[in-house]
Chains A and B, each alone.
Chain A
Amino acid sequence: MTTESVAPGAHHAWAIYVQAGEEARRRGDRRTGTDHLLLALLEDPSIEVALGVTLRQARQAHASLDHEALGALGLGAGTDAPELPMRAVPKKPRLRDVAQKDRLRMTPAAKKVLEDAVKPNRRKLQVTAQQVLAQILTLQPPDPAAVLLGALGVNTPEVQRRLAAVTPDS
């Protein structure tokens, strides 16, 4: 038996992907990016603890980055529109949940994060939120997840050290 098959925090990799897609949809994005993967991970309370950031704070920081960028174009703080509704994500998505016609494809960076996260696992559809987070933490700005972590003031090397301490060599 491999470690990940008994790991309590194992997620279905598709669930993270579909949840991230809903985060993207909510913002009006056409692609699911690394930033949306990060937001999806924050659904897991242990990730909120690891980063010292709540999902709500991360979403707010994400929106603030957009406001700031729009502000640089001269579009004032009043320039906004309501976010789109997110759909419910099943814990164990089936193929039909993943292969929806209107799914938002992943950016190349997001795809690489998920692929690298599952790489050490024997069961490629099982992944822990920590494994995905570890990949996201290796990203550098201008990657959107790295920019978001920066905006949140997350001390990335410190989180990496703590993650490595609790994860037996992955």
Chain B
Amino acid sequence: MGIEELSVNLSSDDPAIGLRASLALHRLAERVEASHVASAREKGWSWQQIGDALGVTRQSVHTKYNKE
């Protein structure tokens, strides 16, 4: 899908769908992040490296994900 197509689709005129889609993207991004943080840890990445990749501090990724 090209970026033009995405912006055409984004102009869908039903706000109920559009607003929900925006939240659904946030949720999806959060799940994508969590699953890749887990796989980075499995591959031996340090919290520092993951933080660098996400543009946040080591502490903040550690606090968020080091639960298990």
- Which residues of A approach B to under 8 Å, CB–CB? 27-30, 65-70, 72-75, 79-85, 87, 101-102, 141-142, 147
Contact = CB atoms under 8 A, between A and B. Distances in A.
Report the contact-size class of chain B (Cβ under 8 Å from the partner).
20 to 34
Contact of B27 (A28, A68, A73, A147): A28
Contacts, number: 75
SS of B interface (majority):
helix
B39 to A, nearest CB: 11
Contacts of B25: 70, 73
B21 A72 contact: yes
A102 B21 CA distance: 25
Contacts of B14: 72
Contacts of A65: 20, 24
A82 B31 contact: yes
Contacts of B6: 73-74
Given A102-B63, A142-B19, A72 B28 contact: no
Given A28-B27, A28-B30, A73-B9, 19 more contacts: A27-B31, A28-B28, A28-B34, A29-B27, A29-B30, A30-B30, A66-B20, A66-B27, A67-B24, A69-B23, A72-B14, A72-B17, A73-B12, A74-B6, A80-B31, A83-B31, A84-B30, A84-B34, A141-B16
